[in-house]
Chains A and B, each alone.
Chain A
Amino acid sequence: MTTPAHSHSRKSRVVAIDPALLQEAARQAWRKFAPAEAEKNPVMFVVLVGTLVTAAITVQRVVSGAGFGFELACSLILLFTVWFAHFAEAVAEARGRGQAASLRSARRDLSARRLLEQHAEGRNESVAATTLRKGDRVLVLVLTGEYVPADGEITQGIATINESAVTGESAPVLREAGTDHSGVIGGTKVLTGDIVVTVSTDPGESFLDRMIGLVEGAKRQKTPNELALTVLLAALTLVFLIAVTSLPPMAGFMGVQLDTVMLIALLVCLIPTTIGGLLPAIGIAGMNRALQANIIAKSGKAVEVAGDIDTLLLDKTGTITFGDRQATEFLAVDGIPQQRLIAAAVLASLQDPTPEGKSVLRLAQERGHTLPAMPSGATFIPFTALTRISGLQQADGSHCIKGAGEAVKRWAELQRLALPPRLNTLVEQVAQQGATPLVVADSSAILGVIALSDVIKPGVAERFAKLRALGVKTVMVTGDNPLTAGAIAAEAGVDAFIAEALPEDKLNLIRQEQRAGRLVAMVGDGTNDAPALAQADVGLAMNAGTQAAKDAGNMVDLDSDPTKLLAVVEVGKQLLITRGALTTFSLANDVAKYFAIVPAVFAGSLPAIATLDLMQLHSPRSAVLAALIFNALIIPALVPLALKGVRLRVQSAEQLLRNNMLIYGLGGVALPFAAIKLIDLILALFL
């Protein structure tokens, strides 16, 4: 029993950028000046060194009594360039911590009854939840309204649990030992049933703790693509370092002395500070987006790989269709009016708590039938494994029942009712369409058949179309016969399906796809999914699932909503696109900065070069300051984009590249020309 999809119930969780968060981030940004933090980012490290040198020159000029306004201004702008980069990272971290804290707060100050003997009835001791270790068995009693003290698996008992503290979903969920839905989360409240839970993680090692680690800079490991990009940016930084330091000797040959502060300004403007400053924030924000979707990734790499997925392996049930079958048709036998069949079916389902029963009422309403009140004196006959029928016994002793074909026939025999000649044909007809027949009868006759069939979730086909456009192939896995599977596959718009699938078929398919060079993602919850989850490049385990599945997968969905996989793919792609787009933007920006600073550097000594001052800036100093200010301000200006991610449009790779090149490449060349000129005009008023 999984909780229904609630992709929009997450809103409450999204931590807005509020002033308190910004203040905290601003404080953190200063702390990141510590040397241990600074050396992790080669680009910003160079800026920091440049800041120290300009600061030293400023001090020297103050001491020697020379004018120091320009040098001081440069030092301050450089300082803030580094600070802005730290600030961007700190904002992303603070948001992540905010989200994680709301998850973590649920499990503070819990106590647990640790079992000292094998039996649940045996002695137990009360301990703090934080002292629980992996493998401990704890008893959770419903009577006292207890909370589950730690992540674990129910090894004894059955319970309904309110997981809203963690998932934001208030409808209770059913968890049972020995099933595919035996997983429980620490901090959730048990509503019914006493259970024994075996703790699955040591303190500080839960998925949640790992996720918190992913959004906190100190523990964060760089993802593979992030690492590669960092190397590229370091190489570019080195290129610019050489390009700038080789200038003084060349200028010296011309008999010209270059100003050190101007050279540092040139260096800082050329090295890719924009992407260098935002890179950590982009990575953290990607993890945050996953966390916002209630996905807990075990590593940042898993989220990044999700963007590369070629094939999505999806269970039909629960992912493509609602897990429960729903009434889709009333088929009356010959001689029975449709209305009589519907009326009987409604009575038989009035008190039926199962989703199937509710769907009968819904279909009846859709067919224009008004639901009656529960007749007085009637009693509900619940479904039992023995009778396999359910229904209603009215005050006069008459029945309205529905049930599986054979069960109803047996009941009819006992009631001495005749079998209508067309009944078998109807039952077979329904079964052939891949639906389940329920036979309806009242005390006087067998009335007809209700067809229960899979209903495809709304919006699924659109999402698959979107994935196809992004180059992701979807494969549906189902135990249905090929006919039924084909019909559903066609309706849902998946690219391929496996019918009559055995558990090992998933693993085989994943291996086969991987041999062909494809990266495969899959969703699973059962213990028999574990090998496939481990084999898949992205294995998304349902939190409600077994511990084996959660251990095998590299992500866990707290909502246990299989369609989340699509969201993960988007998060992964967005992560890479944002990095690529901002790198392109950062490099493209350099062109304009060159034309602002290079003429300024040589302005005093080599007037011929003034022709390169395309922007006609006010003065060499205002040009340098304008370029530096632009260079610094562009970082906070792009923080929202870094946190939100570049919007992923549904386009082919070719279109994506063209649009991103136009916006971030061409735009990256053009924007700074306008911005630097504007800043220069403003500066001209003061200088």
Chain B
Amino acid sequence: MFEIILIVTTALLLAWPLGRYMAAVFSGAPHVSDRLFLPLENLLYRLLGIAPTQGMDWKRYGAAFLFSNLVLGLLVFGLLLLQHRLPLNPDGIGPLSWDLALHTAISFLTNTNQQHYSGQAQLSYLSQSVVIVTLQFVTPAMALAICVAVLRGMMGGRQVDGAADNSERDLGNYYVDVVRSVVRLLMPLAAFMALLLTSQGVPSTYQGAANVALVDASVETQEQTIPLGPVAAMVAIKQLGTNGGGWYGPNSANPLENPTPLSNAIETIAIVLLPMATVFMAGYMLQRRGFALMSLAAMGLLSALCIGASVYSERLPNGAFAELATAGANMEGKEVRFGPDLSALWATFTTQTSNGSVNAMHDSLNPVAGLVTRVGMLVNAIWGGVGCGFVNFLVYVWITVFLAGLMIGRTPEIFGRKIETREITLLGALIVLPTLCILVFTAITLAVPAITGHSNPGFHGISQVFYEYTSAFANNGSGFEGLGDNTPWWNLSCVVVLLLGRYLPLVLPLMIAGSLARKRVAPVTSGSLRLDTPTFCLTLVSVILILNFLSFMPATVLGPIGEALALAQPTTIVTEVLP
């Protein structure tokens, strides 16, 4: 418990100054670090042919976002298809099937890092360190850029003074925002973290896999191949950029990816560092300390509840071993060195933040902790992914402002800008989207068991399918595993869910922000809704919980909730449906 408190407190203390630095980065104002970064940035602008002073309204900003993703997507898909003919492939790894290549490309393009391949076995060094690492830097930067543009829109855009009413506002330059977040934020942070991880023994090399003799000479295998590579660098950005796709298949449960208690603490902090810092950044950018504190309180409350439930659940014995093992915490699928607390903490954070890296098997979590991982992904706004998490949070804030605004007898407004039919229509689409993607695909997949590829019948089988699509939609990427997911159906259906789950939740809020930016600002009076109060915070938390509860309760009853209840009554369903 002490370790949990230490890790969370450290993360918050680091996030505060980092958030302040991020606000400075995106304000574009002169900064002491300019001498270091500006030459590199200017070089990039020249190479990409960008006029960095050119502002963009929401349409051009959104178009630039989609266009850059299309170009990157095609590039990456091509590279993955042709990896066997390209250099940096010392182990001679073959090509990926087209559907797997497509799924992998989209999965990394959407900052999801859902893996239907097994990292070290199916990807070349080029694919791993160039294709995937590039996307792991660029995609969080892209979402962060959208988040920054949305925040600017909520303040009426840049150069708000003197802008005519109802005119399109300048939300910044998309390419500049992406370049600056990569150059000034992600690269320095990742470099620093990679050094820290290397110091803990995480491999950092371009040599091919090492062949070593086994210590235990009595076993049949004489020699073992241990894949190596630039692991530390990749793990750093995998954690920081809420990416989650590890070098090794077992991700951070593998001792080479996560060797020591310190490396585990660093990697856990890195999961939530940028999403937490984004909250502070929003406070500085909106010049609303109270709103940032309220957001922090709302997310903190939900996060703490989830961590508490998860840790409590994992300290309980695993129901399946009730009469087999000695009493103790649920250690199935866990690294002994991390134990239940740190595994539960990681599982909670990694699903809340759309990171998806793991240091324990989520398939083996006790039902309540399994439910917590799903809550984190369904809400997708408790810290959330870099950039997109806070955008999702703003969507909940807008919905709450609409309800609360009506309840105080004024047309709902946020920071003086009215939320009207256009905004509500877009918000309505965002409310429907998760159910549409997750439940419809889960239902279709389960209706045709031949394509499901599940390894478990009954509640747990439903849980796995539900988890896979939830993870895809939330752009989380963690897997419940135990699912034979490298099939055309899984690859292609996940591609659809990944795309819908990435682009609509970023572009629709950008549209809302563009629309809000144009509006005339009403001054604050005692009749205005205040967002920095405990009342609003609790209203917001209730809206988040009830909205998700109402959308997903029936499905979760057939999945993890049913499973938990069945485990509590061992004589009923489990024995009944097992073949």
| A interface residues, Cβ below 8 angstroms from B | 224-225, 227-229, 231-232, 234-236, 238-240, 242-255, 266, 270, 304-305, 307-308, 310, 468-473, 516-519, 572-577, 579-581, 583-584, 587-588, 590-591, 594, 598, 602, 606-609, 611-612, 648, 652-654, 656-658, 660-661, 664-665
Contacts and interface: CB of A to CB of B under 8 A. Distances in A.
A648 B409 contact: yes
Contacts of A598: 553-554, 557
Interface of A is mostly: helix
Interface centre among A248, A472, A654 (most CB of B within 10 A): A654
Nearest to B423: A228
Interface in B496-553: 520-523, 525-530, 533, 535-536, 538-539, 542, 546, 549-553
A657 B550 contact: no
B557 A612 contact: yes
B51 interface: no
Contacts of A611: 565, 568-569
A657 B404 contact: yes
Nearest to B405: A580
Contacts of A252: 446-447
Nearest to B459: A254
Given A228-B419, A471-B526, A656-B407, A249 B446 contact: yes
14 contacts: A225-B411, A235-B427, A242-B439, A243-B439, A247-B555, A253-B446, A255-B577, A310-B527, A574-B409, A577-B409, A587-B546, A608-B573, A609-B557, A654-B533
Interface centre among B410, B427, B431, B549 (most CB of A within 10 A): B410
Contacts of A612: 557, 561, 565
A224 B546 contact: no
A608 B447 contact: no
A174 B442 CA distance: 75
B558 A254 contact: yes
Contacts of B535: 654, 657-658, 661
Contacts of A468: 526
B410 A576 contact: yes
Interface centre among A229, A573, A609, A664 (most CB of B within 10 A): A609
Interface size, B (range)? 35 or more
Interface string B394-407: 00000100111111
Nearest to B466: A250
Nearest to B452: A253
A607 B542 CA distance: 30
Given A516-B523, A517-B521, A225 B442 contact: no
A573 B405 CA distance: 11
Nearest to A516: B523
Contacts of A664: 407
Given A516-B523, A652-B526, A665-B539, A657 B408 contact: yes
B458 A580 contact: no
B424 A231 contact: yes
Nearest to A588: B546
Contacts, number: 230
B548 to A, nearest CB: 10
Given A307-B409, A609-B562, A653 B551 contact: no
Contacts of A653: 408, 410, 526-530
Contacts of B539: 657, 661, 665
A573 B409 contact: yes
B411 A656 contact: no
B432 A232 contact: no
A243 B554 contact: yes
A584 B407 contact: yes
A242 B521 CA distance: 37
Contacts of B557: 598, 602, 609, 612
B470 to A, nearest CB: 13
Nearest to B565: A608
B386 to A, nearest CB: 27
B558 A251 contact: yes
A246 B551 CA distance: 11
Interface in B413-462: 416, 419-421, 423-425, 427-429, 431-432, 435-436, 439-440, 442-444, 446-447, 449, 452, 458-459, 461-462
Interface centre among A587, A653, A660 (most CB of B within 10 A): A653
Given A243-B551, A517-B521, A661 B444 contact: no
A519 B521 CA distance: 11
B572 interface: yes
Contacts of B286: none
